[in-house]
Amino acid sequence: MPTMRAEARRPLLLACCVVLVALAACTRGYPEADAPRVSPFDQSNDERLAALNELARQAHPERRWSYSMDGPCVLSVEYRRKGQRPLQTTSKLVRTMDTDLVFDKQDQTYDVVLRASSHREAQPVATVLESTAWTDASKAALYLTLLIRDCERTS
């Protein structure tokens, strides 16, 4: 009789092993814990600049943007269209500046524009991003707004 009992348990034991192996395989490749999401409001300007650069890499398939701080509160923006030489602009960030999100109908992009002040009639200082996605452009505008806000505090 012991063999019958062992034989009856074999399929159950096999099924348990299969389930355990399947569960272990499901976790392969996934991080053990989610990376904490840090609010842009809680980031340093260096972290915001890094996030802005990461976002700009995927903002448009044919255009590349990159950002750096050249001295205290001086934003350097490099822009390159596919097959063309890069263009570079620098802007001194001051607290009176503002960002604007504009849809370019002709180009079908959402453009982040740096303005001299928060007045709607204020002259644009520079276009700092052209994105095919509104979400990327709005994130970039937030990062830039916070860079402006906190620039003088950190320099």
Q: Would 81 be classed as within a structural domain?
A: yes
Q: Would 66 be classed as within a structural domain?
A: yes
- Domain of residue 88 covers 42-154
Q: Would 2 be classed as within a structural domain?
A: no
**CA separation, residue 127 to residues 69, 100, 108, 152 (Å):** 16, 9, 15, 22
What integer pLDDT is reported at residue 7 of this predicted model? 67
d(Cα 3, Cα 5) in Å, to the nearest integer? Answer: 5
Q: Would 77 be classed as within a structural domain?
A: yes
Which residue would you say has higher pLDDT here, 36 or 151?
Answer: 151
- CATH code: domain of residue 79: 2.30.29
Is the Cβ–Cβ distance between 139 and 131 less than 8 Å?
A: no
Structural domain total, the chain: 1
pLDDT band at 9 (very low <50, low <70, confident <90, very high): low
What is the pTM (predicted TM-score) of this model? Answer: 0.73
Q: Would 13 be classed as within a structural domain?
A: no
Q: Would 91 be classed as within a structural domain?
A: yes
